[in-house]
Copies of this chain bind each other. A is one copy, B any other.
Amino acid sequence: MKQTDVVVIGGSAAGIPAAITCRRHYPEKNVMLIRKEKQVQIPCGIPYIYGTVNSPDNNMIPDGVLSNNEIELLIDEVKSIDKTQKIVSTANGEEVRYDKLIMAIGSEPLDLPIPGLDKKNVFTVKKEVNHLNKMLDAVNDAKDIVILGGGFIGVEFADECKKNRDANVTIVELMPHCLMLAFEEDLCIEAGEALKERGVNIITGVKLEEVNGDESISSVRLSNGQELKADLLIVGVGVKPNSKLAADAGLDVNRGGIVVDKNMRTSDDNIFACGDCTSKTSFFTGRQIGLRLASIATMEARIAGANLFSPRRHNYGAVGVFSTAIGDKVFAMAGLTEDLAKERGYEITCGEAEAPNRHPGGMPGMSKMKVKLTFNKRTGEIIGGQIRGGSSAGELINTVSACIQKKMTFDDLATFQIGTHPAVTASPIAYQLVNASENAIKNMR
């Protein structure tokens, strides 16, 4: 039987930083990471295999991140956990005794009750290299690609599938617009228009009812009666947590995944969990929520890894910080949308500001950046922010996230000490975060 201080199960966006964090905080401990995949994909990079980077080979997380941190790697599948004996058992018959265990076993695509999803050339988005390679061949051969789901995965796949190809690409989305679970309506509309400009067809407000064809898919039938020609269907409509291994071991699980406390500890004191496999709560309400993001996974992993032998970090719940890019436009969101804030019972005030992201506007690379901020009217605290702009919106949304996490008020934000420069930001007079905050105060009157 093998023996180690710490076992991490899972080698993706949660497992890797969990193991590294443990190494950083407990340099004297032996850390072993067990994963079933020979090679690991960057999860958020998967859509970009189908256009920009061209192959799963160009989307790998190198194992050097483990070996450089002296983390032992075992490629095998954990089949069971004996939490009393503190032993994990693998598919290849290995047994490993641990002192502390971290479960970072991720999620898998939802099973949908749609007839015909078992036909050839129907793909869910799994993080396995072989699967992704088969899908790449299918995308390269396809003439009519249908993508089910207009969330981040669906939108990014659609945009990528159009690159260097003349296939028809159609998104089928249940809601009135794409990306509606992430952004406010105006941004969803803008994003939809950007996609259409790039040649993507979008059909909204419909369900996909059935996949037709013999062995292979030939078309899909929608709830409005429409039949769409399709020789490839990509299903990108959400994931469910992998929690069976935990449930089988007798750990508490709920429909959101493995139950963890603020220290990322499961119902067993020696077992921690992080990432897509855990049940999550909202930063704002403490309620259980369904958000699953690589960036939340890494945050949880850094709490779990640091807390293993003595708690020092708390999980305050997920803020929810997203961004995506369509062409040269970036769309980003942190915290609650205006509608969601109202649903959660907040009395709110919002402010917007749009300005060039250079000053003067004639500086190279100028595009207009628009910011909308939402504040709790009773406390003045920021609870949400949305941005549409150039590539620096990807970092500006993290400034908004910092402000939300530290509960900055509209006055804090209006007098926020910024750095500005003609070549890379708006002018200090027009700076969008500051002006959106001032407008939110003004809009309270």
Interface residues of A (CB under 8 A from B): 13, 16-17, 21, 24-25, 27, 42, 44-45, 48, 52-53, 58-61, 65, 283, 294-299, 302-303, 306, 312-313, 315, 318-319, 321-325, 330, 332-334, 359-360, 362-365, 391-399, 401-403, 405-406, 408, 411-412, 414-425, 427-429, 431, 433-434, 438-439, 441-442, 445
Which of A24, A364, A417, A422 gathers the greatest number of chain B CB atoms within 10 Å? A417
A420-B294 in contact (CB<8A): yes
Count of chain copies: 2
Please name the residue on chain B nearest to A312 by beta carbon.
Answer: B411
Q: Which of B306, B394, B433, B434 contacts A425 (CB 8 A)?
A: B394
Leading 9 A-B pairs by shortest Cβ distance: A394-B424, A321-B419, A406-B406, A395-B395, A325-B423, A402-B402, A298-B428, A295-B428, A323-B421
Smallest CB–CB gap between A331 and chain B, Å? Answer: 10
Cα A17 to Cα B426 in complex, Å, equals 14
Cα A354 to Cα B364 in complex, Å, equals 26
B415-A302 in contact (CB<8A): yes
Cα A427 to Cα B48 in complex, Å, equals 14
Kindly list chain B residues whose C-beta atoms are within 8 Å of the C-beta of A362: 52-53, 58
Cα A16 to Cα B442 in complex, Å, equals 17
A299-B415, A395-B399 are known contacts; what are 15 more A-B pairs with Cβ within 8 Å?
Answer: A44-B422, A45-B360, A59-B360, A295-B428, A299-B428, A312-B411, A321-B417, A323-B421, A330-B421, A330-B424, A391-B391, A391-B424, A394-B419, A399-B402, A405-B412
Smallest CB–CB gap between A444 and chain B, Å? Answer: 11
A415-B360 in contact (CB<8A): no
Kindly list chain B residues whose C-beta atoms are within 8 Å of the C-beta of A60: 360
What are 10 residue pairs bridging A and B, where the CB atoms are less than 8 Å apart in the complex?
A17-B428, A44-B422, A45-B360, A295-B428, A298-B428, A302-B415, A323-B419, A330-B423, A392-B392, A398-B425
The prevalent SS among residues of A at the interface is mixed
A442-B24 in contact (CB<8A): yes
Kindly list chain B residues whose C-beta atoms are within 8 Å of the C-beta of A283: 417
B395-A322 in contact (CB<8A): no
Kindly list chain B residues whose C-beta atoms are within 8 Å of the C-beta of A396: 395, 398
Cα A427 to Cα B442 in complex, Å, equals 38
B392-A419 in contact (CB<8A): no
Cα A419 to Cα B182 in complex, Å, equals 12
Cα A322 to Cα B360 in complex, Å, equals 18
Kindly list chain B residues whose C-beta atoms are within 8 Å of the C-beta of A391: 365, 391-392, 423-424
Kindly list chain B residues whose C-beta atoms are within 8 Å of the C-beta of A392: 391-392, 394-395, 424
Cα A214 to Cα B283 in complex, Å, equals 71
Smallest CB–CB gap between A411 and chain B, Å? Answer: 5
**With A360-B53, A416-B299 given, is the CB distance from A325 to B401 under 8 Å?**
no
B16-A298 in contact (CB<8A): no
A418-B321 in contact (CB<8A): yes
